[in-house]
Amino acid sequence: MSVIQIDEVSKLYGFGDATTVALDEVSLTIEKGEFIAVMGPSGSGKTTLMNILGLLDKPTHGVYKLNGRDVSRLSKIRQAKQRRDNIGFIFQSFNLLSKLTVIENVALPLAYKGTRSKKRLKTAERVLEQVGLADRDSYLPTQLSGGQLQRAAIARALVNNPSIIIADEPTGNLDSVSARVVMELLSEVHKLGNTVIMVTHNPSLTRYADRIIYMLDGSIVYDESSVVGDIPSRVQRAINALRKSDDDEKLANVSAMMETIPDSSKTPEKTDTKKKRKAAKKARKARVKKAKKSESNAKEKSEAKK
């Protein structure tokens, strides 16, 4: 059984003319123990996808099965329970509570679970040791460096012993040394048999992953397996092209480059992908039109009622 299976999941924001299709009928199956790197330009829907997979948000359409169970339409409370028992979430901006000490932050998810205070602190201390932060347990978040904050956030994500870790650009705010420490931690968690799904803009971090997904305009445009320790050739070409181009803007948004690097070894497939994308775009436009139409119909109806 797959740990995660989503089927034609869409997420729409806004109404009428201002509708944004953040996710466009995305289907994805994730097996236990995979380490997936998700790339794609800003606005391509990566965070929206992570929030849905992490049960922080619900899809507008489509089905989400977590460990074989349909969780797409659960109540907020049941959703939170599923999240607590299965998922650890790591954010780019750490999201630690500033008035609580490090150990209190880490122990917090256990409080929601109803674990006794003594046991909570003991478990939190053990996880803090695991991330190398035991000596900072009584510090406040403001007293820690960015790298330490992210390690504390990882400890908080791990404290419930979840089997799925979702990390949305976990190294986005870190210097390269701290980023490496964070990646090594995620890698350890992966090696223990857990599933890791990580959004990153940094192509060199794809070396930790065994599967790479590229998103564009709310769709998955590539989904390829990779060998841990290797950077896939497509990503490597993008890095090389960037070294030559010296273009700051492209550097900031490196994954957008994937689209423009010709893949000489796979030319037929590429034309194929291009065609598919064109068709998908057309279908997407039609769907948005349809959604808008049904929305305005519904509006008319409700106004007629009045």
Ligand X SMILES: Nc1ncnc2c1ncn2[C@@H]1O[C@H](COP(=O)(O)OP(=O)(O)O)[C@@H](O)[C@H]1O
When the beta carbons of 46 and 237 are compared against Mg ion, the nearer one is 46
The packing angle between helices 146-158 and 102-113, to 10°, is 20
In the complex, least distance from residue 299 CB atom to ligand X, rounded to whole angstroms = 19
Contact between 200 and Mg ion per CB under 5 A: no
Separation of alpha carbons 214 and 219, rounded Å: 8
- The residue of the chain with the least Cβ separation from Mg ion equals 47
Q: Is 93 in the site for ligand X (CB under 6 A)?
A: no
CB of 129 to Mg ion, least distance (A): 31
Residue 292 CB, nearest approach to Mg ion (Å): 25
Binding status of residue 13 toward ligand X by CB under 6 A? yes
* Exposure b/e, 156-193, CB count within 10 A at least 16 = b: bbbbbebbbbbbbbbbbbbeeebbebbbebbeebbeee
Residue 13 or 112: the one with the smaller Cβ distance to ligand X is 13
**Min separation Cβ 220 and ligand X, Å:** 12
Using CB under 6 A as the binding rule, whether residue 171 contacts ligand X is answered as no
Least distance from ligand X to the Cβ atom of residue 149, Å: 21
221 within 8 A of 273, measured Cβ to Cβ: yes
Residues near ligand X (CB under 6 A), total: 12
- Comparing CA positions, the residue from 18, 2, 20 lying closest to residue 10 is 20
d(CA 155, CA 191): 16
Site string for ligand X, 209-248 (x = CB under 6 A): ----------------------------------------
- Give the 3-state secondary structure of residue 36: strand
Distances (CA, A) of 201 to 166, 168, 274: 15, 10, 23
If one asks whether residue 255 binds Mg ion (CB under 5 A), the answer comes out as no
Percent of residues in the chain assigned helix, strand, coil, to nearest 5: 50, 20, 30
Helices (H), 167-232: 176-191
Binding at 20: pick from ligand X, Mg ion, none (beta carbon under 5-8 Å per type): ligand X
Beta carbon of residue 168, minimum distance to Mg ion (angstroms, whole number): 6
Q: What count of Cα atoms within 13 Å lies in the side-chain half-sphere of residue 10? A: 13
| Residue 13's binding partner out of ligand X, Mg ion, none, with CB under 5 to 8 Å set by partner kind | ligand X
Query: Residue 36 half-sphere exposure, CB side, CA atoms within 13 Å?
Result: 27
Ranges within 46-65 binding Mg ion (CB under 5 A): 46-47
Map the footprint of ligand X across residues 16-75, applying CB under 6 A. 20, 22, 40, 42-48
List contacts with ligand X (CB under 6 A): 13-14, 20, 22, 40, 42-48
